[in-house]
Amino acid sequence: MTFINSKRKIVTEATQTFTFSRRAMVVGGLQGAIGAMLIGRMAWISVAENEKYSLLSESNRVNLTLIPPRRGWILDRHGKPLANNRTDFRVDLIPQRVVDGEATIGHLAKLLSLEPDEVDRIREELDKSAGFRPVQIADKLTYDQYAAISVRLPDLPGVAPSQGFSRYYPAGATVGHLLGYVGPATAEEYKARKDPLLITPGFKVGKDGLEKAFDRHLTGKPGAKRVEVTARGKIVRELTTRPDTPGRQVRLTIDAGLQEYAGRRLATQSGSVVVIDCANGDVLAMASMPSYDPNSFSDGISHLEYEMLSKDDHVPLRNKTLQGLYPPGSTVKPMVGLALLEAGISPQDTINCPGAIRVGNTLFHCHKRRGHGSLNLRGAIAQSCDIYFYQMAQRVGMDRIASMARRVGMGQKFDLPFPSQSYGTVPDPAWKERKYKQSWQVYDTVNATIGQGYMLINPLQMAVMAARLATGKQLMPNFLLGAKRPAPAPVGVSEEHLVIIRDAMSAVVNGGGTGGAARMNVPGVLIAGKTGTAQVRRITMAERAGGVRGNASLAFKLRDHALFQGFAPFDNPRYAVACIIEHGGHMIRNEDAPMIASDTMSFLFEPEKAMEKLETLEKGWGGPPAERQARQMAAFRLAKAIEKGQAPPPVADNASNAVAANSAAPAAPAPADDANDAPPPPGSNAAGAP
């Protein structure tokens, strides 16, 4: 059968050979043609498109990495560093490049022997990270650890060891709230600025406090490094390096020694101390304790440590100097006294204090149940008599007092380089009408004159008040050394009145008043001040009948705040101080506001003696803050482990310990050394034994 019209062509051996030759030449020709085409194609790629592919090859080979700039130092008024940089070996994880996160973390944890809560933190940050933001594994590595990671890089995709600088705060926790801390930029910050520097491993931005306020100023210009890398990201060699330009420094008005002293002097209390230079309003110290350690925050804090800090009732995460608002209590009395004098009340006018008076329907008590008897202004301030001020305030009215309060800085928002500040309230009739749509009552005036009710103040404002009472000038707090400011406006009171108030405040401390604990042991320097107690609970009539409960018997959160404001020397004020102890309740004399304030003040006059006293006292408190915090952390970690059942609960006595050990002994094979003391087990060859 034929499938085509084949008869048309007669095929013979000869024609077939001819066909073959022809077709073989076609095949050979095709081969040559394809060969030529391939050469042409190659020429196109390698000559015509050479530039494009050379570029691509270079961008494959060369990796440009930014070198994070060293952060500018933060210096105190004497040039001593409050924040500087330390050379540091560190390891980060670039989430984008990680292949098997769990295995990588496990491997690193073993290499660097990381704590379990650190591993949890890394895991969590890796989950949350948006891919481009580096997650810190560890820093402050030893060179050996750094080398151990570096040699294993090919097996650890996404791991980036680097040598850089890390922020260091020599004073630790005592500067925590003042300076804030630094940390990696957040995904939002990167989206907003699109600066590649923000996602460079090791680069950190200010997160709080002055670090945040002066962030741009402190951030320098990044350097750059061109390195040759393999496809797997391993660095083969460095090509060129342009060094970084460190950030500019910031010089503060803070006195590093005083700041640290104040922080330590706050002891185990939850409180704050602010010291202001009466000459120009420079803030010399602004301590809020307890505080987080900015060193550990800047390294990436562990979940556990954060949990501990946030659960602490001493609120170490809040900057109390600016964000803590307290009823000022009796510390407003000198200010109210000044308002009374201004309103024409004679300093010699007396009031009889019977222990309580009736205002409207309510009976208002003096802090002294039996009363002070007859008092003039000086006595009322020195003894902190409430009745005197209840009576006098009713005579002059709230508006005059509120005006004075504002002039001495209460309720005033200052222009400060801090991200947030709470600035308190000075109530007056107009304010109450605006806020509560209620008319002002006499009892409101009575409450306000003793710094209770609606009146609120923060510790910085209290220090400003002290400085303004001391100088009669409206000093403004300032943190930058040598900052140019207009001359302060006067408070607008006569020097004569100020002398009376300063004298009365000196009597508080040195004249048998309520602040005797603040007496300063510096020859020739007398401190003037005013104590205060701010109630945080309402004392009912029933309780008053049965006797007011002592602070010691109350829960921490219900105890009174203890306050002190003052200045020294009383007759020629140089420094002003304010101290507030949250829920201090005046329970421990050497941890109470007056003595803390005066010791802090004495550091400015006789630092050695003040330090000596502090070191003696600290022994009783369990050492300096860092030591106490480390101990607290260890206890918290143990408690957590017990909660999770990872560690046995501590046993009450040694006996039960011994029982546990004994019951375990028979099960375990006895070690060879112990065998001498133990009888040979039955069945063993005991022939050698005597």
Q: Footprint of other proteins on this chain (CB under 8 A)?
A: 1-4, 6, 9, 11-13, 16-17, 19-21, 23-25, 27-28, 31-32, 34-35, 38-39, 41-43, 45-47, 49-50, 52-54, 56-58, 60-61, 228-232, 236
Residue 267's closest CA among 627, 636, 563? 627
Phi, psi (degrees; rounded to nearest 5) at 168: -135, 135
**Burial class, 52, CB count within 10 angstroms (exposed 0-12 / middle 13-18 / buried 19+):** exposed
Quick one: residue 132, left, alpha or beta (phi over 0 = left, psi -120 to 50 = alpha)?
Answer: alpha
Taking the C-alpha atoms of residue 666 and residue 292, their distance in angstroms, rounded to an integer, is 48
Taking the C-alpha atoms of residue 135 and residue 25, their distance in angstroms, rounded to an integer, is 67
Minimum distance from residue 200 beta carbon to other proteins (Å): 23
Two tokens at 220?
């320098």
Minimum distance from residue 28 beta carbon to other proteins (Å): 4
Give 55 or 670: the residue with its C-beta nearer to other proteins: 55
Taking the C-alpha atoms of residue 610 and residue 599, their distance in angstroms, rounded to an integer, is 6
By three-state DSSP, how is residue 24 classified? helix
Taking the C-alpha atoms of residue 579 and residue 596, their distance in angstroms, rounded to an integer, is 7
* Angle of CA points 31, 33, 35, to nearest 5°: 70
Give 58 or 673: the residue with its C-beta nearer to other proteins: 58
Two tokens at 641?
């482990």
Minimum distance from residue 34 beta carbon to other proteins (Å): 5
Give 94 or 509: the residue with its C-beta nearer to other proteins: 94
Give 231 or 664: the residue with its C-beta nearer to other proteins: 231
In Å, how far are 164, 239, 393 from 348, measured between CA atoms?
68, 84, 16
Separation of first and last alpha carbons in the chain: 113
Residue 606 carries which DSSP code? -
Give 25 or 651: the residue with its C-beta nearer to other proteins: 25
Give 50 or 245: the residue with its C-beta nearer to other proteins: 50
Q: Are 296 and 207 in contact (CB under 8 A)?
A: no
Minimum distance from residue 99 beta carbon to other proteins (Å): 13
Two tokens at 361?
């329907």
Q: Which amino acid is at 521?
A: N
Give 47 or 664: the residue with its C-beta nearer to other proteins: 47
Give 31 or 346: the residue with its C-beta nearer to other proteins: 31
Minimum distance from residue 670 beta carbon to other proteins (Å): 53
Give 5 or 684: the residue with its C-beta nearer to other proteins: 5
Distance of CA 316 to the CA centre of its chain: 8
Give 131 or 620: the residue with its C-beta nearer to other proteins: 131
Minimum distance from residue 143 beta carbon to other proteins (Å): 27
Give 132 or 436: the residue with its C-beta nearer to other proteins: 132
Instruction: Specify the pairing of strand 250-251 against strand 74-75.
Output: parallel
In Å, how far are 425, 437, 440 from 428, measured between CA atoms?
10, 13, 7
Minimum distance from residue 157 beta carbon to other proteins (Å): 13
Minimum distance from residue 161 beta carbon to other proteins (Å): 20
Minimum distance from residue 42 beta carbon to other proteins (Å): 5
Q: Residue 674: which residues within 8 A CB-CB, separation 6 or more?
A: none
Give 57 or 646: the residue with its C-beta nearer to other proteins: 57
* Bridge partners of residue 84, in order along the sequence: 168
Minimum distance from residue 19 beta carbon to other proteins (Å): 4
Minimum distance from residue 55 beta carbon to other proteins (Å): 8
Helix 333-342 × helix 459-471 angle, to 10° = 40
Give 13 or 673: the residue with its C-beta nearer to other proteins: 13
User: E-assigned strands of 174-282?
Assistant: 182-183, 205-206, 223-229, 235-242, 250-251, 271-277
Residue 48 carries which DSSP code? I
Taking the C-alpha atoms of residue 485 and residue 468, their distance in angstroms, rounded to an integer, is 16
Minimum distance from residue 36 beta carbon to other proteins (Å): 8
Quick one: residue 648, left, alpha or beta (phi over 0 = left, psi -120 to 50 = alpha)?
Answer: beta
Minimum distance from residue 637 beta carbon to other proteins (Å): 43
